[in-house]
Structure formats: C-alpha cells, structure tokens
Amino acid sequence: MGDSSYRTPLSRARGLGSAHDGVARFISERATSVALVPLSLWAIYGALKISHAGYAGATAFLQSPVNAVLAVLLIAVTALHMKMGMQVIIEDYVHQPRSKIPALLLNSAVCWLAGALGVFSILKVALLGAGAH
C-alpha cells in the first residue's frame, strides 16, 4: 500500500480540489448561454423587421434605443460565447503547441475584432443615423 505506481493519474488527482480557475469559465459559458436565449430570439425578430426595410428602414430600426442596446448586447455576448466555444473545440482537437497557440490567438483576434467592429458600427448608426457616412 502507498505504492504510487498502482494508482492511475486520475486517482492521484482526485480529492486535491479544483485548479481554482475553471469555475469562472464554467459560469461564463452558462451565463452567456442563458443571455443568448432571449437575445437570439430578438435577433430573429430584428432580422425579419429589417429584411425588407431597406437602408432607411434598417437605420431607423437601430435608432430606437432599445433596439440599439439589444443589438450591441447580441454582438458582444455572442462574441464572448463563441470565443469560449471555439477555444474548447481547439483545445479538444489541436494538441501541438505550435498550432494550438496560434489557433487560440487567431480565435481571440477574430472574436474581439468582430465584436468591436459590430458594436462600433451599431453605435455609429444609432447615434448619427443615416447620412453620416
């Protein structure tokens, strides 16, 4: 007894507690999921509203404060959610550090860039309206 070679790595790790940095990530994944339930349903509503409204109609839609704020939240929360989701996929399938690290950095860059461009564009249209381009 006590010979560690009989124990599996899992049994050695068991009972030592968490690494203390996984819980916040777990909660963020679930919190963004819950937030995206109403936001994605609103996105469908918004898409239907502007689908035949043209440039002027789409601009007017985003000038409503409620629509502008929901559009900003939709883009920001989706960018966070998809960054975490794609990170899990990369960590599941890409194991070599020389490909995993660039893939994780690229994922972060795409999500932050898309989030920032989307939020800035919505705010520009919401605050300045048509004709400010």
- Taking the complex as a whole, the smallest distance from the CB of residue 17 to another protein amounts, in Å, to 20
- Taking the complex as a whole, the smallest distance from the CB of residue 15 to another protein amounts, in Å, to 19
Q: At what angle are helices 54-63 and 97-128 packed, to 10 degrees?
A: 90
Q: How many CB atoms lie within 10 A of CB 123?
A: 14
- Taking the complex as a whole, the smallest distance from the CB of residue 97 to another protein amounts, in Å, to 17
- Taking the complex as a whole, the smallest distance from the CB of residue 65 to another protein amounts, in Å, to 16
Closest to another protein by CB, 82 or 100: 82
Closest to another protein by CB, 103 or 122: 122
| Torsion of Cα atoms, 11 then 16 then 17 then 22, to 10° | -70
Closest to another protein by CB, 101 or 116: 116
What CA–CA distance (Å, rounded) separates 67 from 126? Answer: 9
Applying CB under 8 A, which residues contact another protein? Answer: 4-6, 8-9, 30, 33-34, 36-37, 40-41, 43-44, 48, 51-52, 55, 58-59, 62, 71, 74-75, 78-79, 82, 85-86, 89, 110, 114-115, 117-118, 120-122, 124-125, 130, 133
Residue 49 neighbours by CB under 8 Å, 6+ apart: 61
Secondary structure class of 124 (helix, strand, coil) = helix
